[in-house]
Amino acid sequence: MRAMLRVIFSSRFLPVIILIFGLFISFVISSTDPKPNKGVEIPKPTAVFYDNPQKKDVTLRVTTNGEVRSVTEINVIPQVSGRIIQVADEFIDGGNIKKGQPLIWIDDRDYKLATISAESRVAQAKKLLEREIAESELARKDWEELGEGEASPLTLRIPQLEEARALLNAAEADLEKAKLNLERTIISLPFDGLIKKKNAGIGQYVNAGSILGSAFSTEKVLIPLPLTDTELSYLGLPLGYESKGYFDGPKVIFRSFISREYIEWNGRITRTSGSIDSQTRLVYAYAEVINPYDESPPLAIGTYVDAEIEGNFISGGFIIPNAAIKNGNEIYLIDNDNKLRIKKIEVVGTENEDVIIFGDIDENDMIVVSTLNTGYEGMELTPMKLENKEAL
């Protein structure tokens, strides 16, 4: 027996015995030690930023852009044939032409001769008519003295008289046409404008209907402006709108970067398209600028401009950050118990990065501007005042 104990407590088995003994003691202690009770975990309120709405009367403004176009552009076409004998110095590419200013002269000698000839025929026709009037009157008197019953039209020379009147009318029409052709040998523009392209010069023979050049009006320009239907409602304009006068439409400020600075021009919306574009879903409002080339620099054809349109006047609206709008027409409010309340509102416009709304709110309300993906009525919140709107 002693030999066996000596073997067990020999240095070889002593570490194993100590390890087994230690594990046994640990098991006994852990099984007899009391276990702590599990508590209920209370969720912490969600921290959110809030802002107070600002009550303000504001004029809505819509920003868009477009390209300046000419309202009237025509080809310079003669109505008579002949050789060009003179052109105005302004008849060059880019030349500035005033309304009614002589632009091109066509050789008028043939047309002057035609006018003289027509005047001669008119004089002959008048003389013939006077003679027929006298003879008709004489025939009537002779019949009254010698004839019996009612005289026939031929006896009274009525057909001859009507023929003489018709010949006079035809001669006068020919004279009027000859004078008109003579006037047409001088070509001018029916508006103040610029020559876009010149195609003819002195000495060239031209036929009636040939294109001598092209020009566009500088009396006003047109700028089509694309808008969404919402933006159109901000302007208070219906589809197919047409202003009664130039100054009746909404004001527009046009801006473009020219010569290292922003230049501004003023215009007006004069009409809107009567339909919505099927591909872009946009509506076009058409603005006009009067005498754009009188400005310095001018609002030239082809200029790409930014436009700011003056819209409806909103009284008693509230301005809040755009981030405060939830689900299109809702906002989240924080009540006096720091709980979330959901309220319906109406978005009526925008101002810069903010939104203008109508709703049952006041300036002391705390409106949540943080993102809440799972916001619900009664949700507990920890409100924090938003100090820097740029952080949104």
What integer pLDDT is reported at residue 333 of this predicted model? 94
**Residue that wins the pLDDT comparison between 56 and 352:** 56
What integer pLDDT is reported at residue 305 of this predicted model? 96
In angstroms, the Cα distances linking 159 to 136, 137, 152 are 10, 13, 11
Percent of the chain residues topping a pLDDT of 70: 86
Tell me: pLDDT of 8 over 60.
no
Beta strands in 18-81 (DSSP E): 46-51, 54-67, 69-70, 73-76
pLDDT in tens, 281-313: 999 999 999 999 988 889 999 999 999 999 988
The SS3 call for residue 128 is helix
In angstroms, the Cα distances linking 165 to 122, 131, 132 are 11, 11, 9
What integer pLDDT is reported at residue 93 of this predicted model? 93
Other CB atoms within 10 Å distance of the CB of residue 173: 12
pLDDT in tens, 35-73: 555 555 666 888 999 999 999 888 888 999 999 999 999
Q: Band of the pLDDT at 32, cuts 50, 70, 90?
A: low
What integer pLDDT is reported at residue 115 of this predicted model? 95
How do 213-217 and 96-97 pair as beta strands?
Answer: unpaired
What integer pLDDT is reported at residue 81 of this predicted model? 96
Distance from C-alpha of 42 to C-alpha of 249, rounded to nearest angstrom: 61
Distance from C-alpha of 297 to C-alpha of 50, rounded to nearest angstrom: 48
The SS3 call for residue 271 is strand
**Residue that wins the pLDDT comparison between 11 and 15:** 15
pLDDT in tens, 212-262: 999 999 999 999 999 998 889 889 899 999 998 888 899 999 999 988 888
List the one residue out of 247, 256, 353, 222 whose CA is nearest residue 310: 247
In angstroms, the Cα distances linking 248 to 245, 265, 269, 288, 335 are 5, 18, 8, 12, 46
Q: Dihedral of the CA atoms 213, 217, 221, 224 (nearest 10)?
A: -40
Q: What is the DSSP letter of 192?
A: S
